[in-house]
Amino acid sequence: MSLLTLEGLDLRHGLLEAVRGVSLELGEGEVLALVGANGAGKTTLLRGIAGAHRPAAGRILLEGTDITRVPAYQRVRMGIALVPEGRRLFANLTVEENLLVAAQRARRGGWTIDAVIEAFPMLEALRRQRAATLSGGEGQAAAIGRALMTNPRLLLLDEVSLGLAPVAVDAVYAALRAVIAAGTTVLLVDQDFTRAAGLADRVVCMLEGRFVLEGKGSELTREQITDAYFGLGRAMAVAG
Amino acid sequence: MKGARIQRWTPASLSFTSGFGLLIVALAFVPVVMGASIVQDLTTLLILVLMAVMWNALAGYGGLVSVGQQAYIGLGAYATLWCALQGINPYWGMVIATAFCAVVSVPLSFIVLRFRGAQFAIGTWVVAEAIGIYISFDNQLGAGTGTSLSQLDRYAPSTREHITYWLTLGLTAFFVLLVFVLLRSRLGASLQAIRDDEEAAASVGVRVLAGKRILFILAAAGCGAAGAMTIANILFIQPTSIFSVNYSAFMIFMVLVGGLGTFEGPIIGAIILYFIQQQFGNDGTWYLIGLGATAIIFALLFPRGIWGMLEERTGLRFMPVGYRVKRTTTDAEATA
Amino acid sequence: MTWVNDVVQGILLGGYYGIIACGLALMFGVMRIINLAHGDIAVLGAFLMYLLLQHWSVSPFIALLPVLPTMILFGYVLQRLILQRSLRAGILTPLLATFGLSIVIQNALEQGFGPDVQSLGAQAGSIVTAAWQINSQLSISALGGLILGTAVVIYAALQLYLSRTTSGRQMRAAAEDPDTAELVGINSRAVYARATAIAIGIATLGGLALALRSTFQSYSGPDQLIFAFEAVVIGGLGSSLWGALLGGIVLGVAQTIGAQINPEWSILSGHIVFLLVLISPRGGLLTLRSRRGARSALSGAGA
């Protein structure tokens, strides 16, 4: 049985259909990279899986259990954690408090505050600092660490490398490799296609709310990906 | 090629607007045709309509929830009294009082418009309280115990009621018309933008603060007129009653039940409140409990109010303050 | 020397204002709601104690024991039934709903208890009249000192709760970003309900303080709300929680000094100071621009 199943998921912003009829199966331990242009619906989809956005239609199943109506905070306890776009740390709390607050009702597991600091050593010095003072890379480390504190089975990452210096991205991806090695299922969104595809077992490309391309990163040609990204194939099909 | 044109007047709205005009004329003849009690009742109703329309202008179009309009109701009443004490004909005094409230609201706007939301609400309330307290110090104006507009005694009761009624009708129609004109102007469109999303409106060049200030001054003048006519209608006032926050409770009730942000809503709400007052006004506290509970229920469950819901269902709109996009099927219509 | 006495009396009065401001500030800090029924809730608490004392002649402090949990429960119900809904609906809705609630409570109290002015000072015993006579012009009333002391304890306890406890930390997180809080496993609704319950519990203490040091009647609520709001604004809306206590003290001093100039001017002086703070450059900075833009009102409570 797959860990995560999406069946015909529809997510809307008012009248705007952000995610249309998306279906997906994600196995335990799998790593999926979700790519696509801005506005394709990636963030909305991730938020839908995490429970922050109620679907207009469709179902979400976690290991066979229908969690479509389950609120976000309960999904965290069931093992789904989202690292939101832009980090969204609690600016007025210290780094340590940010980590602790996520651990309140977390699942049991290996990710304690010490384990997280070990995975992101830069955080040790920043423990007592207000989260608002962190740089981009530090913040991203803290945000991922915060999500890890809940001991997730499924880790969702939205725009991992956005606004980060390459060095910082390196550190983040190194940590992600450790997380994956530990058996966590990962669904990640990243503008940096190469890095994301390099980490992932599978790549899915989204355009205007739909999945338009799927496959192993190594199998997809640059042309296929560009077309899927910008929807050129579709436009040409319509005009022709 | 298919197109569309912008339509401001539909047959329904055209007929209704002219109907509205005829209504005003018809109402003007009421004192001639009907008895004294009807005249006084209608005066009360018209004052309610004015208050509701003004509160709606602030909250429904400007997003400004004021819990302090009673400041201007009180000021309008006391300014009228003051004019009468100086020997000016009280009816002229009412017009002066209205203008006075408009003028006073300008500096006050610079204080309270710094706030939004709840802070604005309580800010206006504090201003009303402060003004009420200040007026209650003045012995010439009757201090805390209150006083009456005895200068109107020079008129026979029925004459007084008639003149009061006509002035009320005139002022109410004037302010309703003013709101109507405002909404159809460029300011009206920008106000709707402000109400829907202030930051977005500002980013496209809408002068948010100026728009709000105009509404604030308008509402102050209108409530001032309402206060002036209240004292003409009931003759005796005292600070605690004329500056009472219950006026705000009434205004909120009327607009919430009638339809916040619609043109027709406050008028409907005023009519409803009027009948409720007639029926239950003497029940004192239970009546107010009912009003408060109704306000809560409408705020939570029926935020669009009666007219708002009606509008949604039927697309009906009598007063043409909006724009309708009408699809055209021929080029000829598109260019018409 | 009388000026010194006025300032001292003003500080003691400020203790009371600090208590009723605290609940208002907490609800605003966590939920961005200003509960227009806050003052009426304090008065409701006072009336419940009055009711108890009609049948049971004990000290009002004892009467507080059953009333406090009752009011806290009421607060919890209020949150779930009215406030939570109005949070989702829009900016105007909490204002309108709490205003309606205020009208309902005031008139229900009038209906139930009549328009008479009440006080519980008489049943409180000697503490109401005891005082420390410092010199011929300066005396500190035991009750005033007790209320001020209680205010400080309340603020300190709240500070500790927010900065040291797990649920306090959750509250600070949810106050800042309820959306993300949900994403890390925090049940924002439950947190809000807790905040309201605490705020109403503190308001009830304020009601007792009011009943002991002064009088109250069914329509006293709005005045308390205005004092509470003025205290919060003077102290700095959106800054630290302790600002509300400081603001309360400034308000108290303004009122007592105003009364020294002219007895009728006491409350008006408070209004004037409030309006002056509003006009001042700092007053402009108090306007919260957006939920996420401003520093949380609980920011001073952390670390």
Q: Which two tokens stand for residue B85?
A: 């004490």
Q: Answer yes or no: is pLDDT of A70 > 90.
A: yes
Rounded mean pLDDT of A146-162? 92
pLDDT for res C280: 76
C164 in contact with chain A, both atoms CB, cutoff 8 A: no
Q: Answer yes or no: is pLDDT of C85 > 90.
A: no
Q: What is the C-alpha separation between A155 and A48, in angstroms, rounded?
A: 14
Measure B69 CA to nearest chain C CA, in Å.
14
pLDDT for res B318: 59
Q: What is the C-alpha separation between B289 and B249, in angstroms, rounded?
A: 11
> Mean pLDDT across chain A, nearest whole number?
87
Q: Answer yes or no: is pLDDT of C247 > 50.
A: yes
User: How many Cβ atoms are within 10 Å of B106's Cβ, its own excluded?
Assistant: 12
- What ipTM does the predicted assembly reach? 0.88
C86, B294: Cβ pair inside 8 Å? Answer: no
pLDDT for res A145: 92
Q: Which two tokens stand for residue B86?
A: 């100086």
Tens of pLDDT, residues B137-191:
888 888 778 888 888 878 888 888 888 899 999 999 999 989 888 887 877 777 7
C77 in contact with chain A, both atoms CB, cutoff 8 A: no
Q: Answer yes or no: is pLDDT of C88 > 50.
A: yes
> Mean pLDDT across chain C, nearest whole number?
86
The pLDDT-based confidence of A84 (bands split at 50, 70, 90) is very high
Q: Which two tokens stand for residue B301?
A: 């469950």
Tens of pLDDT, residues C132-186:
887 777 888 888 999 999 999 999 999 999 999 999 999 999 999 999 999 999 9
Angular region, A151: left φ>0, alpha ψ -120 to 50, beta rest:
left
pLDDT for res B326: 57
Q: What percent of chain A has pLDDT over 70?
A: 96
Mean pLDDT check: name the lowest of B36-40, C42-46, C148-152, C228-232: B36-40
B126, C93: Cβ pair inside 8 Å? Answer: no
pLDDT for res C48: 94
Q: What is the C-alpha separation between C169 and C190, in angstroms, rounded?
A: 13
Q: Answer yes or no: is pLDDT of C109 > 50.
A: yes
From chain C, pick out residues whose CB is under 8 angstroms from the CB of B284.
110
The amino acid at residue C225 is L
Domain boundaries along the sequence of chain C: 2-123+140-301
**Interface contacts B/C by beta carbons within 8 Å:** 130
Higher pLDDT, residue B201 or B230: B230
Q: Answer yes or no: is pLDDT of B7 > 70.
A: no
Instruction: Say if residues C212 and C128 touch (Cβ distance below 8 Å).
Output: yes
pLDDT for res A33: 92
Rounded mean pLDDT of A138-157? 92
Rounded mean pLDDT of B63-79? 93
From chain C, pick out residues whose CB is under 8 angstroms from the CB of B121.
34, 36, 95, 99
pLDDT for res B9: 67
Rounded mean pLDDT of C114-120? 88
Q: Which two tokens stand for residue C76?
A: 């919890």
Q: Answer yes or no: is pLDDT of C6 > 90.
A: no
Q: Answer yes or no: is pLDDT of B93 > 60.
A: yes
pLDDT for res B336: 37
Rounded mean pLDDT of A2-17? 89
C166, A77: Cβ pair inside 8 Å? Answer: no
**Interface contacts A/C by beta carbons within 8 Å:** 79
Tens of pLDDT, residues A165-203:
888 888 889 889 988 998 899 999 988 888 888 888 899
Q: Select from A134, A120, A194, A187 the least CA-distant residue to A164.
A: A134
Q: Answer yes or no: is pLDDT of B267 > 80.
A: yes
Domain boundaries along the sequence of chain B: 3-335
The CATH-assigned architecture of domain A4-239 is: 3-Layer(aba) Sandwich (3.40)
Residue of C93, C274, C287 lying closest to B116 (CB–CB): C287
Across C90-120, b (16+ Cβ under 10 Å) vs e yields: eebbbbbbbbbbbbbbbbbbbeeeeeeebbb
Q: Answer yes or no: is pLDDT of A237 > 70.
A: no
Measure C278 CA to nearest chain B CA, in Å.
7
Across C239-273, b (16+ Cβ under 10 Å) vs e yields: bbbbbbbbbbbbbbbbbbbbbbeeeebbbbbbbbb
Mean pLDDT check: name the lowest of C83-87, C217-221, C273-277, C292-296: C292-296
Dihedral sign for Cα A137, A138, A140, A145, please. Answer: positive
Taking the domain C2-123+140-301, which CATH number applies? Answer: 1.10.3470
pLDDT for res C126: 76
User: What's B3-335's CATH class?
Assistant: mainly alpha
> Mean pLDDT across chain B, nearest whole number?
84
Q: Which two tokens stand for residue B128?
A: 């009303």
pLDDT for res C264: 82
Across B146-159, b (16+ Cβ under 10 Å) vs e yields: ebebebbeeeeeee
C97, B117: Cβ pair inside 8 Å? Answer: no
Residue of C82, C99, C233 lying closest to B67 (CB–CB): C99
B293 in contact with chain C, both atoms CB, cutoff 8 A: yes
